[in-house]
Every structure is written in C-alpha cells, then in structure tokens.
Structure 1
Amino acid sequence: MPIEFYEEIGSPPSLAVRLAVRHLKIPVNSHFLDMGDKEQFKPEFLKRIRCQLSMRMDSFCGKGKYNEFFGFLGGFMISLLISRAINRYLVNRYAPDNELYPSDAKKRAIVDLMLDFDLGSLYPAALEWMNPPFFEKKPHDREKEKVVIEKLKLLNELISESRFAAGDHLTIADFSLLASVSTILATEHNLNQYPNIKSWITLLENELPYHKELIMPHIDALKPYLVVRMTATHLNISFNLIDLNMEEGDYLKPEFIKINPAHTIPTIIDNGFTLWESRAINRYLVNQYAPGNHLYPDDPKRQAVIDRLLDFDLGTLYPIAGDWMYTPIWKNVPRDAEKEKVLSEKLKLLDQLVGKGPYAAGEQLTIADFSLVTTLQTINAAGHDLDQYSNLKSWLNRLEQELPYYKEFVESHIKALMPWFEQKVDTDKLLEKSASTH
C-alpha cells in the first residue's frame, strides 16, 4: 500500500523526501496541498493529525516547532515532524543497510552529523536570510547573508575530502543538503566562491538520473513568474514585483483585500489606480503605456478579434482545462476521460481559430498570444498531447523562437508545474495497476 505523502512544490523538506522516495523506488500516493486555500487546516486533513502538520518549509505549529509531514503506511500511523527523520525511516523500513543510511555506527554518525548541521545550522541561517524579502517584503539583510556565507564556507570544508557529503557513497545527507543549497541557489546567491560545493553539485547532477526532474522545478518554483510580466517586459514597463505568500494567506489579509476586494492575483497599482484580472491588466498596460501598439491596436475590428480570443480563453478553454487538470490533484481522484474529451474539442476549435496565423489573432503578436500560451503550456505540462493540433504546435514553436523572454517566463512556469502533474499521472497508473490485480 503506498505511503500517503503530503507535500508542497518549492519546499526544501518536501524535496529532500522526494529525492529519497525516488532513489529507493518507494510507491507513494502524493497529495499536493493547496496551501493558499488553507487545506492544511481543513477538518478532513486535521482529523489525521495531532497538530497542523504538512509537508512544507519548517514553521511553528501550536507549541510544536516543526510543521512538515504526516504519513500513513497501511493502518499504522507514522507521525514524523522532520523531513530528515522521514528519510531515516524510509531507509530503515524499506532498504535496511542501504548505503543511503548505513548500519555501520561510524558511517551513520557522519551522516547524522551532516543532517544535524543542515537542520540546526545551515538551513535556519538560510531561511532567516531568504524569507523576509519574500514573506515580509523587506530587503535582504546583508549581515544575515554573511552568516549564510560562513555556514556555506564550513560546508565547503566539510565535504572537501570526500565525493559525497558524508563520504564516498551517496546518503540521505546529500538529499537534505542538496535541497537546502538548491534553495539558496534559487535566490541567485553566487556559489562560485565554494569550489567543493560546486563540484559536489555537479557530481549529483551527473549521477542522479532524477536530478533535473526534481531539482530544477524546485528552483523554478521559487522564482516569480506572471503572465502580465510578458506584456510589461515586451513594452519595457518597469514595475516593483511583490510576491504574495499564498501559503500564509497574504491574499486574505485586510491590507490586501482593501486593495483588491476579490483578493485575486495578479493585481497592479499604477499611481493609485488598482486593477486585477490578467487580461484586463494587459489591455490597460498597452492602452496606458503604448497606445496603438500591435499588442492591442486601436482598430476596432482587430481589437474585437483579440477580445474574442481572450474571452474564449477566460470563459471556455481555461475553466474546462482547469477542471480536468486541477480537480484530480486537489481532490485526489483519477482524471476524468470525458472531461479530457471536452477539452480536446475546445482545443480543436482553437486550432482552427489560430490556423490563419501566424499569431493567435492574425499577422502580429498580441496580448491574446500571452494569455493563450500560458493556458496551452499548462495543459501541455499536465500531459495532454498537443502534437495532434498542428496549428497550435506551429504557433507555440513560433513564440518559443521569437520571444526573447519566452524561456525565462514560460519554461519556468512549465517546470514548476510538471512535478504536480507527473505525480498525478504516476498515481493514476499505480491505482489502475492495483485495480487490475484484484
């Protein structure tokens, strides 16, 4: 019976456990909690736990300090409050004597030393430096960064005499430290000053077949991206990017609801003018900062074609796609084949609409391309094959080649979503296989 695994994209503890699970080939039934919707506090989740435990970045939970993971194995309830404890358990339970956590007392002690260094020294220092800019909208504290640098210098020395973090073999210490260091790397902290760490990361990149699949989405998930940024970037509009902490419910706080009663993102404030809904924002940005631009031209007929596609995306394609893609993840149910058929019909219609190209709304790039490419690539990341829609495929290839910011925004968006969707597909296959044996 698979382990019930509650996790969150972008969480270092989640990533550390995910690495161990993948390496040991342990089947898990993954639950991606919608932290923005406070699913970690809902009765159906809380009834399984003594405290609000979820697989997320270390935080406080009542009087307990760590708020990371709760799992089930068969009928036996496992309450593990630290990802490192989870990884110890996974090896002891499913692969005893494995080199990931060796039985030899001295070797195990070295692994524990590195895990404790990560938990008690490196990771807390990194969070203290990284979190305020994201969660409190404060600038990075230079003094706190100096503390992180000192911890990284020490780690650089600790791994200087061995191939891996705790010796000549890969261990769970590598998984935890890699998750922490990769998170620091996502802040664009320069690791070139730590040659041993850099060599160690390169070694793991080359030796772990699942490195790219698990690590890169984690890094990308920590970097901001919004559809509106494509328009702002294309028009060279400067903006002050504010990342809401959806997990802590920033979008429900009075100060944000005062700005946007609908408490949705994206939201902009332009010299006192507040606006939300991405398509409305994109129209405004062009009209305000580049009136007459081909992204949203003055000509009523051309505007109408763009608006038709934006409305098709907002009112038809995206809701149908969202119901097929996200509902199975949030509710942990198999995907509905009938819903995918409905989605396919809408994509066939869109394939016809963009067939006259070369862009979605005609001969020139428009804001309709920006909204639709996000929806289409999200559907693609969810596993729906877009190769069957020849016009859409040509259009996507054209945008990838022509937009200099495509890789920065669109590909990072895809990479951040892939683990969610891939895990759901894996779980569905496991359930199908289990059903076929009964």
Structure 2
Amino acid sequence: MAARQALQVHLDLLSQPCRALHILLACTRLPHTVRHVALRRGEHRTPEFTEINPMQKVPVMVDNGFILTESDAIIKYLVNKYDVPDHWYPRQPERRARVDEYTAWHHTHTRPHAAKVFLLEVLLPAQTGSPVEEQRLIGALSQLQETLDQLESMFLRRQPFLCGDDITVADLLAVCELMQPEGGGAGHPAGSPPASALEESSSSCCGRRLRPGARRAVRPERPAPRQAVTSHRGAGPAD
C-alpha cells in the first residue's frame, strides 16, 4: 500500500483567502506543508502550477492526491474531514447554516467591496503611475461602509462573532478581507466600530490558539506603502 502523502497547500500570503486558510491551519495545528506561490513573480502561470490548477489561482490544496481549489471549499473540506474543534464549522444544522449563510454573502459583499478600496487606493496607482481617483475611491468607501452596516445588522447584531458566541471560518474570511484596505492606509470607513471589534475579537481568539511563530499571520505588519504596492502587483488571482 502506498504511503499517504502529506497535506499540501499552495499559498501566497498577500492573498486574503490564502491568509484565512493559513490562519485556520495554524489555529487547528493540522499537519501540512506550504508551497509558496509568488503571484507578483507570475509563479501561478508556470506550467507546473497550471497543471495543478488550470485557473491559475491560489489557494490550492492537495490532500493525498486529491486536488481542491476555491478557498471556501478548501476550508470547509478540511474542517469536515479532520478532527478540529466543532466551533470552526458547527455540525449542528442551524449553526452550520449560519456559517454557510455568511460565506455565501461574503463573496458578493465583503470581499469585492473591501478589495475594490485596496484596488483603487494602491494597485491601480502603482500599475498606471496615476494619482488616486478620489471620486471613485469615495464611492468605493461608501459602498464598503454600506456593507459594514449590513454586516452589523445581519450578522454581528449583539454577538461577538458573525455566527454566534465563538469564532468560525466565517470570521477568518471576513477579517482577512477587512484588514486588506488597512494595508493601503485606508483603515475602516469612519463610523465602523463593528468591523474593528470583529477584527479585535477574532485576532485575540486566534492568538490564544496559534503556536508562537504563526501569530503574525493574524495581524501582519503593515509594510511601507511603496513595498506594499510592489509586492501586490498582479496579486489578483485568488479564490
């Protein structure tokens, strides 16, 4: 019988979904190896990586020969298959449905609206050499503020986490997206304490569960603006 191959994940930690997966693996201490894929150097377009994922996006998981793409699918596969604490993706149907409800909403609201702010403030000026388009950025910030208001009224309400009293995979996905605009110096739109509160609660909760070397993944150091611009060029292909 062939020996079981170790779980592998292909990541670029400049990608928000990759960071969410990385934090989950660190918090749950699932044995795995990381293959770093530098999007800024075009490593996702190499023949070797394209063979694994023809869509040329990260993250990608390889579990004993089983290849899976899309961050939401990978995260839920791991918590379903392996022995991890139930709070990450509860087995109780109603509680699990709440997590699924948020993750479905996430990909049409939190993710695109937070990413748009970062795109307009950091990526496009870096790629074109043009100044920030203030009116478009104001519109994007307004849209993100509306999303944060909905996030509070629909999900957070008066509970500490998106789906209840303990952290779930939904919180990891949300926090990694909401931290991204801060990398460009935008921070959260004015008057959005729910986003900051969720970020602090999730970071604190993950911090208690992370082995020492992994804590920086929860709240990475903000690089100098020019470094952030350079390192994120071409960093679009993330699931």
Tell me if both proteins adopt one fold, taking TM over 0.5 as the criterion: yes
Map of 2:66 onto structure 1: 273
Residue 411 (str. 1) matches residue 219 (str. 2) = yes
Secondary structure of the structure 2 residue equivalent to 1:241: strand
- Give 1:422 shift: 8.6
Aligned in 2, Cα 1:249/1:421: closer, same or farther, shift over 3 Å?
closer
Structure 1, unpaired ranges of 5+: 1-219, 424-438
For 2:157 and 2:139, locate their aligned partners in 1 and report how far apart those are by CA, in whole Å. 26
Map of 2:161 onto structure 1: 359
Identity %: 23
Letter of the 2:149 counterpart: K
Aligned in 2, Cα 1:379/1:331: closer, same or farther, shift over 3 Å?
closer
- Give 1:300 shift: 2.1
Residue 378 (str. 1) matches residue 184 (str. 2) = no
Map of 2:105 onto structure 1: 312
Aligned in 2, Cα 1:396/1:387: closer, same or farther, shift over 3 Å?
farther
Map of 2:129 onto structure 1: none
Map of 1:237 onto structure 2: 30
- Give 1:242 shift: 0.7
Contact 2:188/2:196 (<8 A) preserved: no
- Give 1:258 shift: 1.3
Contact 1:265/1:276 (<8 A) preserved: yes
- Give 1:421 shift: 9.6
- Give 1:398 shift: 1.8
- The more displaced of 283-292 and 306-315 is 283-292
The count of aligned residue pairs is 199
Letter of the 2:133 counterpart: P
Aligned in 2, Cα 1:280/1:250: closer, same or farther, shift over 3 Å?
same
For 2:193 and 2:222, locate their aligned partners in 1 and report how far apart those are by CA, in whole Å. 23
Secondary structure of the structure 1 residue equivalent to 2:107: helix
Contact 1:231/1:285 (<8 A) preserved: no
Aligned in 2, Cα 1:392/1:245: closer, same or farther, shift over 3 Å?
closer
The Cα offsets for residues 173-224 of structure 1, whole Å up to 9 and x where unpaired, read as xxxxxxxxxxxxxxxxxxxxxxxxxxxxxxxxxxxxxxxxxxxxxxx98xxx
Secondary structure of the structure 2 residue equivalent to 1:392: helix
Residue 260 (str. 1) matches residue 53 (str. 2) = yes
Letter of the 1:408 counterpart: R
Contact 2:28/2:84 (<8 A) preserved: no
Aligned in 2, Cα 1:270/1:339: closer, same or farther, shift over 3 Å?
same
Aligned in 2, Cα 1:399/1:235: closer, same or farther, shift over 3 Å?
same
For 2:157 and 2:69, locate their aligned partners in 1 and report how far apart those are by CA, in whole Å. 31
Residue 284 (str. 1) matches residue 77 (str. 2) = yes
Structure 2, unpaired ranges of 5+: 1-12, 126-131, 230-239
Aligned in 2, Cα 1:421/1:395: closer, same or farther, shift over 3 Å?
farther
- The more displaced of 286-295 and 326-335 is 326-335
Secondary structure of the structure 2 residue equivalent to 1:310: helix
Contact 1:386/1:393 (<8 A) preserved: no
Contact 2:110/2:144 (<8 A) preserved: yes
Residue 325 (str. 1) matches residue 118 (str. 2) = yes
Contact 2:52/2:67 (<8 A) preserved: yes
- Give 1:347 shift: 0.9
Map of 1:400 onto structure 2: 203
Aligned in 2, Cα 1:330/1:392: closer, same or farther, shift over 3 Å?
closer
For 1:328 and 1:394, locate their aligned partners in 2 and report how far apart those are by CA, in whole Å. 24
TM-score, length-normalised on structure 2?
Answer: 0.74
Residue 348 (str. 1) matches residue 149 (str. 2) = yes
- Give 1:334 shift: 2.0
Aligned in 2, Cα 1:421/1:306: closer, same or farther, shift over 3 Å?
farther
The Cα offsets for residues 63-98 of structure 1, whole Å up to 9 and x where unpaired, read as xxxxxxxxxxxxxxxxxxxxxxxxxxxxxxxxxxxx
The Cα offsets for residues 236-283 of structure 1, whole Å up to 9 and x where unpaired, read as 101111111323322112221111111111111000111122121110
The Cα offsets for residues 113-161 of structure 1, whole Å up to 9 and x where unpaired, read as xxxxxxxxxxxxxxxxxxxxxxxxxxxxxxxxxxxxxxxxxxxxxxxxx
For 1:228 and 1:282, locate their aligned partners in 2 and report how far apart those are by CA, in whole Å. 6
Map of 2:128 onto structure 1: none
- The two structures, once aligned, show a CA RMSD in angstroms of 2.6
